[in-house]
Structure 1
Amino acid sequence: MHRWIALMDIVLAFGLSFAVLVAGALRGVFIAYPLLMAMALFGVVLRRRGFALRALATMGWVGSQKALPVIGVLLLIGAVTASWMAAGTVPTLVYYGLRVVTPHTMVLVAFGLASGVSLLLGTSFGTVGTVGVALMMMVTGGEGGELHRWLVAGAIIAGAYVGDRASPMSSSALLIAAVTRTDLYDNIRAMGRTSLLPLGLAIAIYAGFAWVSPVPLAASSLGHDLAAEFRLGPVTLVPAGVMVLLALGRLPVQRAMLASTATAIVLALGYQHYSLGQVLQFLLTGFELAPTSPLNAIVLGGGVAAMVRVSLVVVISTAFVGIFAGTDLLHRLERSLARVKTPGDRFLATALVGTLAAAFGCTQTIAILLTQQQLDPTYRRTQAPPSALALDLENTVVVIAPLIPWNIAGLLPATLLGVNAGFIPFACYLYLLPLVTLLWLRRKTAAAALATASSDLDYS
């Protein structure tokens, strides 16, 4: 009886924490506050189990140190976005985009362009913070304006994770290859095969949306206003070209971002004629135009300061995972996984554990590491090759994390695009991929079982 009571307090803490996180997301509360409340709930439970507050604080501190590399990337993304604004890169992309995009093609272009750029750059955040921001600027209000913004944002974010999952420059693909000790390019080839049907279905769905509910685009005066406010032209696209070329050369994406930012700063100073003080302020607090400009409510954003709130969420979430690891809270999960046997069961277990890890870890990286740590013994026990675990992680955790409203994988792109969790139903590819893969594995297992049964009957 005492063991069941001990188990129930953990279950209750998980349930209450999840409810707090969901309620916070639905009400638009800054997610750091619900995370701190959840941490306090677990602190009470663990204190009752004999863990000293000093020990828990140490575990949290050790865990939070893993956030430092992530924070560096987040702050750099804020600088890239602001510098592309000041250099005229984003305004030029919008200016040219308005000439070729129509209301009936906007959603498809958003998904296709985000997919292509993310495959080149290998970063979902970098894709959303650059071409994603430019695409969102083309969407205007009007009837159903918020719904259309969610639709376009969902297409952009889904496309951004096409490359985040399968690009050779992707940090998540590199991380999974490293922790599973598999070959990156073998993984990418396998990912390509499993993504064909989900990609086709996502394109078909977006085509349906485009036909039924065309996206209203910004008024034609926007192009004229952009040309009046900025010096536009191919030269302003150099920062984007620098980032793409360096990424193709397999330079770490952080260095590619730094080089792109430096190039954009030069253009902002020498081509757009901003002062050094203005450019530094843009990088720090975000780009903005004068209050008298007709574009002051449209062309704005980025900046290091905007990423500080997101960075705080990363610090808290990594501290949370540090406490989980230090107190071995998930050891009972290993017993449940002992029942897993078939490929379909393994995939479903990976998806469920990955969803839990993404919900409580709040970052894609932590979700990958926690899920790999929990599932690796199961894949070994069932004699599945390491490549199977790598592929299942790519087809679950990587694309499920952005669907958790408070996970950084979805929270940051939504913040950059200026939308809330309403984009999630429209990020079709992100949930089609695990769903289609699960159905295919179930069908394959059933076919194998039927073939075995038929063989046994023939033998009899």
Structure 2
Amino acid sequence: MENNKGFKHIYMIFAVSMGAIATCIIRNIPLFYGFFIGVFFSVIVFMRNGFSFIALMKMILKGVKECFSVYIIVLLMGSIIAVWIASGTVPTMIYYGFDYIVHMNYLLACFMIMVMISFAMGTAFGTISTIGIALLGIGKGLSIPEPILLGTIISGAFIADKISPISALVNLTMNTTDIKYKDFFKHMLVTLIPTLIISSTIYYILGRNFTGEVDLLTLREYQRNIFNTFTISLALLLFPIIMILLAVIGVKVIPNMTFSLLGGIVIGIFFQKIEIHEMIHAILFGYRSRTGIEALDGILRGGGIVPMIEVIFIIIGAVALNSVFEGTNTIAPMIDKMASKIKTKGALIARTCILSIALTTVTCDQTVGILLPGKFLKRKYKEFKMKKITLARSIADAGTTIAPLIPWNVNAIIITVITGVGATEYGPYAVLCYISPLVTILFGYLFTNRESKEKLVNE
């Protein structure tokens, strides 16, 4: 395509796709319809501009096949949530959690717990769907509003995608920018430490508003009904500990989640005395507790494969749209045009962050927000005599972290399906997710003069 005409078609596709997705959100229509409309429209546009239907279908099928492991993870996630509640693992964590957090600043504690565990597990979703669900249940029992709780949990969980050595996205970022983890980790601390300090301070201040609202009688009643409904034992806490240890020693996400699922099934059947058909029903449709307290039953429910099927269709739609953009080399000319106007180092870091965020927003997936800036801005960083690690850090601090704040992003959709809380509700409280790119951009403008004196890495 000729440049100006090509850009016009790109903007048309973006406008139609975003319009269709926004309509689905506003009208409460399943979101995958919006993505499929975007895919259909993009195929028509590119066919009219010289691409064959068969070539476009090959692009789409290639992208959809490459994400097969993501579909498995989503289904495992739905199953694990149901099984961990049914097996008594989540109820046990909530039961004992009520004893220890009554006099704590719960939001700050919740944030720090999620930061440490997500770093160890290497997966934001895996942490949210296991430990996060338990922390959410404890917090709801303390009468803390669910959007605030969830925003706190998400802030801590997305440390995994930002800096964990076993995170798939971290490794993708390093591979794309050709750097090693040791260098990446040290460089990330420059912006991560102030981001954590700012986020922790905000959660400490927010948390002070809720420490005096704990109804001890209600908590004891919750504990009594949990104890009467489930077999509660400290031994059940070994299960999530083992899962975390497996992640730390390098066990991949799918095998680790499979172990968690199978272990939970065994515990549920033999320890909680759940009938096999009841366990199958919980895995398929989600677990629903019957403690006798409606508010507590609202905490101890969720998961299931069937609710996740819609998420898989959404992912397929997002991946298909991405595949068309990548296969037709649609976005690269826009990046080149944008990069040609950059004049300073601070502006380069800011543009990297904005580009990564924009690509994550438009394509509904963090992968594109990593790959394209990582590939196409390397030359610009070299031109300005800046380290490739700075490029990697800017991407990790921006497009990777911002994903759960975008209502139509795959991350936000899965979180909403798991918890029932939308991105527009929890977004204002997911502090780290928007503090992170702001700190990086500010750092870029204030401190990049020092980088001009440093030598290039890996030339």
TM-score (norm 2): 0.89
Q: Superposed, which structure 2 residues align to 1:274-423 within 5 Å? A: 274-290=274-290, 294=294, 295-333=296-334, 334-421=336-423, 422-423=425-426
Unaligned runs of 5+ in 2: 454-459
**Alpha-carbon distance between aligned partners in 2 of 1:150 and 1:285, rounded to the nearest angstrom:** 24
1:89–1:237 Cα contact (<8 Å) kept: yes
1:88–1:231 Cα contact (<8 Å) kept: yes
Partner of 1:188: 185
Sort the Cα spacing of 1:298 and 1:447 in 2 relative to 1 into closer, same or farther, 3 A: closer
Partner of 1:424: 427
Partner of 1:168: 165
Summarize deviations over 1:360-403 as a string: whole Å, max 9, x none.
32222343223323333433443433322222221112102222
Deviation at 1:235, TM superposition (A): 1.4
2:353–2:399 Cα contact (<8 Å) kept: yes
1:206 aligns with 2:203: yes
1:288–1:301 Cα contact (<8 Å) kept: yes
Deviation at 1:297, TM superposition (A): 3.4
1:242–1:259 Cα contact (<8 Å) kept: no
**Alpha-carbon distance between aligned partners in 2 of 1:446 and 1:193, rounded to the nearest angstrom:** 15
Which is worse superposed, 362-371 or 234-243? 362-371
Sort the Cα spacing of 1:244 and 1:362 in 2 relative to 1 into closer, same or farther, 3 A: same
**Alpha-carbon distance between aligned partners in 2 of 1:390 and 1:6, rounded to the nearest angstrom:** 29
**Alpha-carbon distance between aligned partners in 1 of 2:224 and 2:177, rounded to the nearest angstrom:** 52
Deviation at 1:50, TM superposition (A): 3.0
Which is worse superposed, 42-51 or 79-88? 42-51
**Share of identical aligned residues, percent?**
26
**Alpha-carbon distance between aligned partners in 2 of 1:204 and 1:217, rounded to the nearest angstrom:** 22
Summarize deviations over 1:256-307 as a string: whole Å, max 9, x none.
2222222222211111111223223322322223596755433111122232
Partner of 2:446: 443
Amino acid across the alignment from 2:435: L
**Alpha-carbon distance between aligned partners in 1 of 2:97 and 2:451, rounded to the nearest angstrom:** 50
1:84–1:239 Cα contact (<8 Å) kept: no
**Alpha-carbon distance between aligned partners in 2 of 1:27 and 1:74, rounded to the nearest angstrom:** 25
1:107–1:155 Cα contact (<8 Å) kept: yes
**Alpha-carbon distance between aligned partners in 1 of 2:405 and 2:100, rounded to the nearest angstrom:** 31
**Alpha-carbon distance between aligned partners in 2 of 1:382 and 1:410, rounded to the nearest angstrom:** 36
Unaligned runs of 5+ in 1: 452-460
1:158 aligns with 2:158: no
**Alpha-carbon distance between aligned partners in 2 of 1:215 and 1:284, rounded to the nearest angstrom:** 40
2:358–2:399 Cα contact (<8 Å) kept: no
1:85–1:287 Cα contact (<8 Å) kept: yes
**Alpha-carbon distance between aligned partners in 1 of 2:87 and 2:229, rounded to the nearest angstrom:** 12
Which is worse superposed, 175-184 or 121-130? 175-184
Sort the Cα spacing of 1:292 and 1:204 in 2 relative to 1 into closer, same or farther, 3 A: closer
1:104–1:211 Cα contact (<8 Å) kept: no
**Alpha-carbon distance between aligned partners in 1 of 2:366 and 2:214, rounded to the nearest angstrom:** 33
SS at match of 1:303: coil
* Structure 1: 4+ residue segments shifted above 6 A: 446-449
**Alpha-carbon distance between aligned partners in 2 of 1:448 and 1:269, rounded to the nearest angstrom:** 59
Which is worse superposed, 376-385 or 109-118? 376-385
Summarize deviations over 1:162-189 as a string: whole Å, max 9, x none.
2331222222112212222211132122
2:187–2:390 Cα contact (<8 Å) kept: no
SS at match of 2:57: helix
2:86–2:268 Cα contact (<8 Å) kept: yes
1:321–1:361 Cα contact (<8 Å) kept: yes
TM-score (norm 1): 0.89
1:168–1:185 Cα contact (<8 Å) kept: no
Deviation at 1:320, TM superposition (A): 0.9
RMSD between superposed Cα atoms in Å: 2.7
Sort the Cα spacing of 1:3 and 1:204 in 2 relative to 1 into closer, same or farther, 3 A: closer
Which is worse superposed, 371-380 or 285-294? 285-294
Deviation at 1:157, TM superposition (A): 0.3
**Alpha-carbon distance between aligned partners in 2 of 1:148 and 1:296, rounded to the nearest angstrom:** 17
Sort the Cα spacing of 1:31 and 1:371 in 2 relative to 1 into closer, same or farther, 3 A: farther
**Alpha-carbon distance between aligned partners in 1 of 2:212 and 2:34, rounded to the nearest angstrom:** 35
Deviation at 1:118, TM superposition (A): 0.5
Deviation at 1:75, TM superposition (A): 1.5
Amino acid across the alignment from 2:147: W
Sort the Cα spacing of 1:216 and 1:68 in 2 relative to 1 into closer, same or farther, 3 A: farther
**Alpha-carbon distance between aligned partners in 1 of 2:276 and 2:291, rounded to the nearest angstrom:** 20
**Alpha-carbon distance between aligned partners in 1 of 2:348 and 2:77, rounded to the nearest angstrom:** 36
2:225–2:292 Cα contact (<8 Å) kept: no
Amino acid across the alignment from 1:274: I
Which is worse superposed, 58-67 or 425-434? 58-67
Aligned residue pair count: 446
Deviation at 1:104, TM superposition (A): 6.8
Sort the Cα spacing of 1:358 and 1:90 in 2 relative to 1 into closer, same or farther, 3 A: same
**Alpha-carbon distance between aligned partners in 1 of 2:46 and 2:31, rounded to the nearest angstrom:** 23
1:83–1:261 Cα contact (<8 Å) kept: yes
Sort the Cα spacing of 1:240 and 1:291 in 2 relative to 1 into closer, same or farther, 3 A: closer
Deviation at 1:338, TM superposition (A): 2.2
Partner of 1:457: none
1:238–1:263 Cα contact (<8 Å) kept: no
Amino acid across the alignment from 2:228: A
Amino acid across the alignment from 1:166: I
Deviation at 1:240, TM superposition (A): 0.3
Deviation at 1:237, TM superposition (A): 1.4
Amino acid across the alignment from 1:159: G
Deviation at 1:223, TM superposition (A): 1.2
